[in-house]
Amino acid sequence: MNRPAGVILALAWLTAAGAPAQKLPLSMRQAVDLALEPDGAVRLQLALEAVRKAEAEKAQARAALLPHVDAYLQYDSRVVNLKAFGVDFAIPGTPLVTPSKVGPFNVFDARARGTQTVFSLSAIRRYQAAKAGLRATRELSESARDNVAASVSKAYLAALRADARLEAARTNVRLAEELLELARNQKAAGTGTAIEVTRAEVQLANERQVLMLAENERRRAYLELLRAIDLPLETELELTERLEFHPVDEADAETALREALAHRADWKAQQQQEARARLAFSAAKWERLPQVSAFGDYGNLGNALNDSFPTQTYGFRLTVPVFDGGGLEARKASSGADLRQARIQTADLRARIEMEIRLALDALRWARQQVSVAEKGLSLAKRELEQAQRRYRAGVATSIEVTDAQNRLARARDNHIAALYQYEAARLDYGSAIGKIREFLP
């Protein structure tokens, strides 16, 4: 299996001898590729085992259509009670009387036996149902890969949001320190008051508290990302991407639905599940038909190995089901219920896919507007703080005006980060909805 270069580097980093001193650089696509390794996410390992089980079930169904051959070697000593088999007669007027037993005598038999199903429409349908089940399981495995890609990319995106919030908190702390220094200088110059210094110290303490919360949130987000990738939790990561705006071309709902039905693995899997249920119902229905099979055996039979000669048996058998206690009708009713359930599930999945697409498109449009508004608000908040600082230095405003501007700038940064996160999350949801999540990775 060919692995992306980023995954090879990451695996080499993880398997290097000794504890590495540097952090592991990781992009979103590399994180997804690591999780999609065969020994990556747990759900992928389970999906692979499900495929192996479906392959075994297909082989079992195919075995009913292939020859069955066995061989045996038997050597025994027998004593037969003839009277037990009804052999008990005598000829009147003569001393001829049937003995009550025969033996002991030896029997040697070395033989090969074989059977072959010539015609069984029910067995053919069962084999076809098993093949459809295998195709469905493989599609479900691909759907599991898409789900893993979506969950890992969301975890990576959450870590990027945590990084952005931490950087914003550090920027706010630096700004609060600068304003505290300005307040102290103003007081030393006689143009400020002690209350303004105290107000700046309170603001700095608040920003440091926010910084501590942001650091804890970042640690939690990184741990969740490591768990999603199934990497050791002590691994130190260095994310190579930033929380940024990646515009995507939005299609109308009908076009997106057609694209989803052509690419989503869970939809393909459900179609195969319905086909499997339909073939299983057909197999139960055609159990009423006669079945034709061929049989034969060939081997040496005699009293001993050196006193035996070849014997053989061969022929055809026609089996006609007459009455099995109602089992055939019960199997037909059960498989019919499975088919109806599969059809209901197919209709429900199609409706759910359409709903996911419409929700994702609405979220994209809403989030795009939020990003635009947040960017404008952030720009205005930065300009307001600059103006408030100039007014404070000039002595025409108090520190209250600067503190209020600083708080509004911090809120604008949070709004901008939240808007970017919402848009990127909606973009990933849209990729999942149309079955192309891995094409939507940065």
Going from the N-terminus, what domains does the chain have, and what CATH number goes with each? 29-69+120-292+325-440 (1.20.1600.10)
β-strand 308-319 against 24-26: which pairing, if any?
unpaired
In angstroms, the CA 288 to CA 36 distance is: 47
Mapping DSSP onto H, E and C, the string for 245-308 reads: CCCCCCCCHHHHHHHHHHHCHHHHHHHHHHHHHHHHHHHHHHHHCCEEEEEEEEEEEECCHHHE
In angstroms, the CA 34 to CA 404 distance is: 46
β-strand 24-26 against 237-239: which pairing, if any?
parallel
Are 114 and 295 spatial neighbours (Cβ–Cβ below 8 Å)? Answer: yes
* Total-model pTM: 0.76
Q: Reply yes or no: is the peptide bond before residue 104 cis, omega within 30 of 0.
A: yes
3-state secondary structure of 189: coil
DSSP bridge pairs for 299: 111, 311
Q: What is the mean pLDDT of each run of 10 residues along the chain (442 residues)?
A: 49 49 83 82 80 87 87 86 75 68 84 86 86 88 88 94 93 88 82 82 90 94 91 88 86 88 90 90 85 88 80 88 82 88 93 93 92 93 88 77 86 93 93 88 78
Task: Write down the pLDDT at residue 95.
Answer: 66
